[in-house]
Structures are given as C-alpha cells and as structure tokens.
Chains A and B, each alone.
Chain A
Amino acid sequence: MATTLAATNPVAVADLKGKVEPDWCPGCGDFGVLAAVQKALVELQIPNHNVVTISGIGCSSNFPGFINTYGMHTLHGRALAVATGVKLANHDLTVLVTGGDGDGFGIGGNHFVHSMRRNVDLLYIVMDNQIYGLTTGQTSPTSRLGMKTKSMPFGSIEAPVNPISLALAAGATFVGRGFSAEQKHLTELIKQGIQHKGFSFLDVFSPCVTYNHDNTYQWFRPRVRKLEDDTGYDPTDWMAAMGKSLLWDDEIPIGKFFERTDVPTLHGAEPVLDAGPLAHVDMRIPGDVTRSFIEELM
C-alpha cells in the first residue's frame, strides 16, 4: 500500500512540514538539520506515514513536532531504547532518532553504546552543540576542556567524549559527521544513513547561537574538511576511521567515516521476525504449540 501511495502521490517537502513552526532560536543549527532530513526523505521518496521520528528531551529533541511523520517525543536520554522497540515491533518502518549531545552521550549514554553493538537498523542524528541549551547553558559531555558555562564557571576540568571514536568502538556500522551549515553534504549523509541497513550514527555540528560562544559557525567553518574530498580515504577501513576520528582543533573531518555492510541487523538476525512485522502477525499462538507448552509441565 505504501509503495502505491508513493507512486501516485510523490512525497514533497510540503508533506513533511509539521503543524507548528520550530521554536528554536533564530540562527540555531537545528533548522539546517530539519531541512536536510526533509530533503533526504523527499529524495528517497519515503511516505511520511512509514517514518517514525523519535527523540528524547532537549532543544533538538523537539524535532518530531516540526516534521510531519509519525513522531514520539519520549524521555530524556531514552529515545534509542524506545526506537529499538518500535523497529523490532514493525521493521517495515523507517526509524529516525534525533536528539542532542546531552541527551545521547550524557543521560542516554548507556543506550547509545548498546544500540550500536546491537546494530539496530535506524538512523541516529545527534545535533551536537557542545552545550545544554534548553536548561540555559550548562556543560555537556562534548563541551571542550576548559569551557566556561553556568555549571562550570571556572572552566570544565573533564575531558569531552569523542562521539565518533565511541561509535566506532561500540560497533556502529555506519558512522558519519555533518555540519548543519553544509546542507547538501548533510542531506547526502542522511540519505546514506537511512539507506544503510544497520545502526547509522551521524554526529552533526549544530551550533547553539545563544549559549555556546566557543563552537560557533565561524569557529567550525575554517576547520571542517570533507572526507569525501580526500580521494585516498577508504571508509571501509575501521583503523583509518579511528585515526580520523581523533583529529580536532585545526582540522575537523566531516563526512562518512566508516561503513560496513556485512553485519546482520538486529531484526534481521532474529528468526521470530521471518513471518513479517510483529505489529501485523496473528496474536494467537497455534493450538498444537500451546498444548506443547502445557505438556512440558505435566
């Protein structure tokens, strides 16, 4: 049914517009991510009713309200756990998970690591602004050492997490980094991430124009280098990806760091799903099977 609809009514950007305008601050990097996701879905022609956009809590986690797909605005840090349940219950759905660096790497760090090793088939986009915005400017897990915020006014004494290295180490099968000011590049990464069969992680620099005065558009622009421009770079080489993930300050790579396609997805590895999405199977268990369950007890 979905394909028929898509064939007769091509998906347009207008179909993906949410019922309310985003309430992000003017200039927020998240606008660029929203636009890129909408463009990617249009280019891939995925009908909006087959997409579930799931977020946690935070500025960027308001994302599902601003895009017309099925949406879930869940708890702080829990989007990946909810998304895993959605995907396993109906693996025909395209699952997008959106959130911020605090949501994903701080309070949700446990689910982040385990979702990657499970290779859940979804795209996780972290709008990484290196700060807590909705709570009005505190240190986040990706805030740089020494960064002064309301919660660490004398400067952070904690090393930041490296999301790319962490994702590579945890077994993500698609790892990329985008910059919200690089629209075409970001849209392409999102398309690839959606199409990848397995866990796709995209860390997207999405500057906070209100609370982060260190990592601004002006700071990122001269530093970012597209991996795609480096003809010698091989994104199937995990060691090379790990090496690139360590670059920071003067040169910050963006683009596809790593992809492997030989790992089964979580839903693909479980024979229980061979009969089709659980959401559509018969709830009753055949009588001969239930009789065998009782027989075991006698």
Chain B
Amino acid sequence: MKQYDLLIVDDEKRFADMLAKRLMLRGCNCEVCYSGQEALNRIKHRNFSLILLDLHLPDIYGTEVLIRIKEIDARAPVIILTGHGTQKDRQECLQQGAYAFMHKPLGIDNLMSVLAQIEEMSV
C-alpha cells in the first residue's frame, strides 16, 4: 500500500489524535494540528496527499482555511470533516474545490475508500 501523507486539522485534540493513530495503524503518515493558522503554516512547507479539515476552528473558520489552502496549492485534496456542517457550508466548500464534505462520526473504512479514490485519480 502506498504511503499517504495526511494532515488532520481539528480543534478536538483527542479526536484528532485518535483518528491519527488509527490511520497510522493503516499505514498512513499523519500529522495533526489544532488550528487553522498552524495548518496553513505546515501546508506551506510540505505537500500532503490529503488534508482532513474541520470547519469550527478556534482561529479561522474552515471555509476560509480552505480558500487559503487552495491559494497555496490549488491541487491539494481537501476533505471537510465536520459535525456542524450546514448546507450552505457544503455548497461553499464544494465550490471552493473541496474533494468531499463528510459528517462526523465517520467510519474509518469510508475514509480509507475515499483515500483510495483520490489515489486512483491522481494516478
């Protein structure tokens, strides 16, 4: 299996850590950050094969983070993973180039299959 580089952006620290651990068990390389600004800083310095982005971040709202990510790297695949998403958020995010808009709680297998899809597309 190919080594994925994932960035998990979520202010729920325990959730983010736990998800990172599970993904790492599935052979992914995960980084975790808890704020929008931190995420943007990391994306500036390296490429990720997938960014999992929460909307309700303490500093910058998720859609804004998404816009800025796309400014840095327009091709970076971003999946919005939120527990609070509204239809408006969903439309906006998909317009701004998010790959998918997913609701918490999320089955890990679903996430893995999305990862596989992204991989297929990039090949």
Note whether A and B form a binding pair.
no
Which B residues are within 8 Å of any A CB, using their own CB? none
Which A residues are within 8 Å of any B CB, using their own CB? none
